[in-house]
Structure 1
């Protein structure tokens, strides 16, 4: 068991060295809620505690998880050539199997999958000892949804992965990785089991666990699994159920959707939740947004800290948005430096830029030139004037939106343009609802390419959505840009060498 504990619950030495070099040591995620002889499963009101533990671990995503999901898309560039070179190489599809980040993300996600299994097993014990079966079934369904999201991301990154069956890590010695299609079907089946037991409401309507998952979170994950399988009718059916509920709306203020006012918004189906409890000191549950922030800025609020500069909107995406005449989504999604603006203008076609493009954000923060990049991502940006007084760390108190209604609408539209049917909403209606918020004119007779362009514009810098779209439809040309050359054999990351050494079946699978 000792090797399994190692692969699931520790970071590599390289990872720890990098972490201590870039920031103060982070608080460790909550420990896996293990069974103990002291637990009294007859105390029914405690049945929620294992679920709370699963949520806590799910929210405490490692800062490396989402950048690794996202960096290979043509909407995002790594920052910092020469610093964390293997991260930069991953952006160029040159994979080092020994890269600590590969191993860490694998560990982070499987650890939380086992936490979800443990929660489900403990809830079953509470039910067996007299707790409400209906309430317990809901809690189990919630844990299934958290587990399903993690499995979806693992399979997007690595393709064939383990479908776990319990909280016992030793099972990894006996399992073989399941093909990606089987993983996605398993996720869909799990969501079918979960939906009837989940609350019929938006996450922000829940009062027992505010922002907790609901049946619509499960349907969104089901739709994503069917998208990966290219089962477009399945996508249309799942997204259609979300749309027809009438519960979700697009937030009119796109800029603030990704900031403090956007927390637990009517648009959000799943988000990682953080809080400083409105206090300038003391308890603080936070994501490390510093990874995404500019290294050098002059904040509107003196003393607000900057970031690391490791996550940069691509010049390709910025020019794509300029060609479309976009302002709201471009101004929201990109923090410009003067050096970046000059780089855009080196192309004669973009010599004359709109006056609103500036290194000063709409919130008054000035983004100065910094060595690791030309731009920073605005979707992971929190204006300094939205920090709680006394807090200075970049992004403190900001939530991380995982899935929002705009993505549901655009998945629905794509499915319809690829042959699916729906009586809920047409592709034109779905796309135009998103375009209307962005201040763009409506389209008629929407094509698949127009939907994919709208997804590119709307969902850039969000969890690698663009990359996984492009490999799903074999659009390798889109990913071959600015010196990158993408080929089919680069779709999935190699299994981390540390995992192959401990679980040789992974090496066999690669062969």
Structure 2
């Protein structure tokens, strides 16, 4: 058996080095050793490798959304300063993962005789193939669909054009359905199960269904079919009662604690990259002075409800632009204080009260959700990276029901109200939902209060978990990548400001053209704006970390470009519309 496992490992390494257009396979391959695909241990060794494709860095992707703002050089989707990918396999147009998946699927079908063993392993591979292809469709729209590994003699297939998005996504749904039917029904946060596949199906089907519904210019059919599929998958998982919200009764800390535990709670976490891998550099993203100085936006902060459940916007009669930093945090949804630095904040692993560090972010709302102790400031941590959790499934279900016009009070109690209860909110939402002018002015795709309020809850609950960019893409709300993002309110330049109302000043904001005062007050941060920073009203207003003019977001920007060398090599591939103007 040792020899067989070594052969398998060597073969996988050889195959992974064969990089060419669509990763062509050599004519002779491991199929010459069919015994490898008849042994359960060998099959597990192969499928274990698929877990390396789980993208734990995806949880950082809120940096590419209206939840966060960057200083000086925001991401390209913010500035439209795109760089066209050139080399083969660049820009996300890489297919090595698919090659390994299809190779495995083909050989299991050919050589694994035990039907139960065959289907169990095929289910794992098809789960990962579905996720792989979803990410490709999300990025590029139409893509070539391949269900078998390619050989050097498959010239027609190698150089074919892209298959329709509709064909590919139907195939993705088929792979997920196979996975749901054949994966183990025992929950496991570090290995895929039936429940992981249902959760992923609810995410993917909701993305695809809402993309088709709101992107009418794409003229894609069957939007409702996918939204119903998302609803049904979520409800099946909910009804199984395999999961629940992590809740120890400590509303002031449970939400934050879930992301601080080395081993994330299996009550709520459906899929995570294991803490034992010690691989992710997350804390330095928000505590280092060299990682972009990302901070949360006032847009996000304004969406957190009052602790009594009422709209923060309505409770202030819509006058929220000049509310001080201290007052913004009073009597709010407790998830707010568990996500960003607040007045009286004490960082985990320390004992002293701290205020926002303006060297580490430039909005004044410093992210703390999942940020660890100071020991992690320069390196990786050993906590699970949570990729899918039950809260998202609840929100997928609620959004699908709202869009379909089926939402009712029982749905609200099952989903949104359970999330708000954990966050200490004292009053339930009641059906039909009421929204406010803030939401109606912000979003363009709908005026349906039920949909808007479910999506507001989604933004709050899932903040800084990497899903906000995808939400804006699928909702056709790309204009929100280009609006002005702001931070905390600054009453004036050259004035001592007490951020946490403890009687001692903490901050002094200086124009980019001015110098700091000669006699500095101990304990005060002297924050000098750069050339791209400003206050929203000139001499006063909210911090603007990036004031430069921004182009209107255009429909072609919802999809990514195909690398130039891929187009040169394969004349049947056509560039996504609009990208030909990028040089």
Same fold (TM over 0.5): yes
Shift of 1:415: 1.2
Q: Distance in 1 between matches of 2:454 and 2:186?
A: 28
Aligned twin of 1:467: 469
Relative to structure 1, the CA distance from residue 66 to residue 184 in structure 2 (aligned partners, 3 Å threshold; closer, same or farther) is farther
Give me the CA root mean square deviation: 3.7
Aligned twin of 1:24: none
Aligned twin of 1:378: 368
Shift of 1:191: 1.0
Alignment of 1:93-132 (within 5 A): 93-98=80-85, 103-107=90-94, 110-127=95-112, 130=113, 132=114
Relative to structure 1, the CA distance from residue 489 to residue 429 in structure 2 (aligned partners, 3 Å threshold; closer, same or farther) is same
Shift of 1:502: 3.8
Equivalent pair of 1:240/1:422 in contact (CA under 8 Å): no
Equivalent pair of 2:246/2:268 in contact (CA under 8 Å): yes
Q: Which secondary structure does the structure 1 equivalent of 2:386 belong to?
A: strand
Alignment of 1:134-145 (within 5 A): 134-145=116-127
Relative to structure 1, the CA distance from residue 247 to residue 92 in structure 2 (aligned partners, 3 Å threshold; closer, same or farther) is same
Equivalent pair of 2:16/2:96 in contact (CA under 8 Å): no
Relative to structure 1, the CA distance from residue 40 to residue 427 in structure 2 (aligned partners, 3 Å threshold; closer, same or farther) is same
TM-score scaled by structure 1? 0.72
Shift of 1:223: 1.9
Equivalent pair of 1:3/1:502 in contact (CA under 8 Å): no
Equivalent pair of 1:223/1:238 in contact (CA under 8 Å): yes
Shift of 1:144: 1.2
2:230 corresponds to 1:247: no
Task: Identify the match of residue 202 of structure 1 among 187, 208, 211.
Answer: 187
Task: Identify the match of residue 292 of structure 1 among 285, 291, 294.
Answer: 285
Q: Between Structure 1 and Structure 2, how many residues are aligned?
A: 424
Equivalent pair of 1:163/1:177 in contact (CA under 8 Å): yes
Aligned twin of 1:154: 136
Q: Which secondary structure does the structure 2 equivalent of 1:81 belong to?
A: coil
Alpha-carbon deviations, 1:17-62, whole Å to 9, x = none?
Answer: xxxxxxxxxxxxxxxxx7386784254432211101112x224x48
Alpha-carbon deviations, 1:442-468, whole Å to 9, x = none?
Answer: 1011411110110111112222x3233
Relative to structure 1, the CA distance from residue 312 to residue 492 in structure 2 (aligned partners, 3 Å threshold; closer, same or farther) is farther
Q: Distance in 2 between matches of 1:102 and 1:359?
A: 45
Relative to structure 1, the CA distance from residue 269 to residue 501 in structure 2 (aligned partners, 3 Å threshold; closer, same or farther) is farther
**Larger fraction in helix:** 1
Task: Identify the match of residue 308 of structure 1 among 279, 288, 291.
Answer: 291
Equivalent pair of 2:245/2:391 in contact (CA under 8 Å): yes
Aligned twin of 1:81: 72
Q: Distance in 1 between matches of 2:19 and 2:554?
A: 35
Q: Which secondary structure does the structure 1 equivalent of 2:556 belong to?
A: helix
Relative to structure 1, the CA distance from residue 454 to residue 35 in structure 2 (aligned partners, 3 Å threshold; closer, same or farther) is same
Shift of 1:405: 0.7
Q: Which secondary structure does the structure 2 equivalent of 1:270 belong to?
A: strand
Aligned twin of 1:453: 456
Larger of the two Rg values belongs to structure: 2
Q: Distance in 2 between matches of 1:62 and 1:308?
A: 17
Equivalent pair of 1:70/1:467 in contact (CA under 8 Å): yes
Equivalent pair of 1:203/1:264 in contact (CA under 8 Å): no
Aligned twin of 2:441: none
Equivalent pair of 1:248/1:405 in contact (CA under 8 Å): yes
Aligned twin of 1:481: 483
Shift of 1:275: 1.4
Q: Distance in 2 between matches of 1:96 and 1:395?
A: 30
Q: Distance in 1 between matches of 2:172 and 2:275?
A: 27
Equivalent pair of 2:56/2:387 in contact (CA under 8 Å): no
TM-score scaled by structure 2? 0.63
Shift of 1:218: 1.2
Task: Identify the match of residue 167 of structure 2 among 166, 171, 182.
Answer: 182
Q: Distance in 2 between matches of 1:71 and 1:382?
A: 18
Q: Distance in 1 between matches of 2:288 and 2:22?
A: 32
